[in-house]
Amino acid sequence: MNTFAFNHANEEKFSALLERYPDKSSLMLPSLWMVQYQEGWISLDAMQYVAKKLECSAMEVYSVASFYTMFNLQPIGTYHLQLCKTLSCMLAGSKTLQEHLQERLGIRAGETSKDGKFTLSLVECLGSCGTSPCMRLNDDYIENLTVEKLDALLEELSK
């Protein structure tokens, strides 16, 4: 039995988008975003639900959801730290930041802290190479990162 369904707000948003988009399949990405903002992540149940809404196969939904790293396919912490690991950020010290984060949070990349507060992910270029090293904190960009800046941020978020 499928346990996922859009909440009322998302159901209304979906109906409104249906009027504006040329066909149901065009609503794949907006639907996945709605699931993620509602639940924090996209479960297999939710993918089946989206497939039914869009009249496509669950495999089609899965192939899109698993292609983009911004979609979480497992539960994540309150704060999702997505550290860029691509060239500009790597040359600017992202590896050092990764090691620092892993040590401070007691987790490795891809894991969530025991208190459920922090998830650390390594991602490809965030499109902010000019201000590297760069990291996403949920929907915000933290740029020109340093170990000191990270420490201050973690301090603030841990309160």
- In the bound state with ligand FES, the residue whose beta carbon lies nearer, of 96 and 158, is 96
Tokens of 99: 């090691």
DSSP code, position 27:
G
Cα distance between residue 16 and residue 21, in whole Å: 9
Q: How far is the CB of 134 from ligand FES (least distance, A)?
A: 4
Query: Contact with ligand FES (CB under 6 A): which of 28, 54, 89, 122?
Result: 89
Q: How far is the CB of 43 from ligand FES (least distance, A)?
A: 29
- φ, ψ of residue 83 to 5 degrees: the values are -90, 130
Distances (CA, A) of 42 to 56, 69, 132: 17, 12, 29
Tokens 């860029």 identify what position? 84
- In the bound state with ligand FES, the residue whose beta carbon lies nearer, of 23 and 139, is 139
Which of 81, 86, 129, 132 minimizes the C-alpha distance to 107? 81
Is 56 annotated as belonging to a binding site? Answer: no
- In the bound state with ligand FES, the residue whose beta carbon lies nearer, of 100 and 117, is 100
- In the bound state with ligand FES, the residue whose beta carbon lies nearer, of 35 and 83, is 83
Which of 7, 4, 104, 92 minimizes the C-alpha distance to 48? 4
Query: Contact with ligand FES (CB under 6 A): which of 31, 36, 82, 86?
Result: 86
121 binds ligand FES (CB under 6 A): no
Torsion of CA 111, 113, 115, 118, to 10 degrees: -90
Could you list the residues that contact ligand FES (CB under 6 A)?
84, 86-89, 125-129, 132, 134
Annotated binding site for [2Fe-2S] cluster: 84, 89, 125, 129
Numbered residues of the known binding site: 84, 89, 125, 129
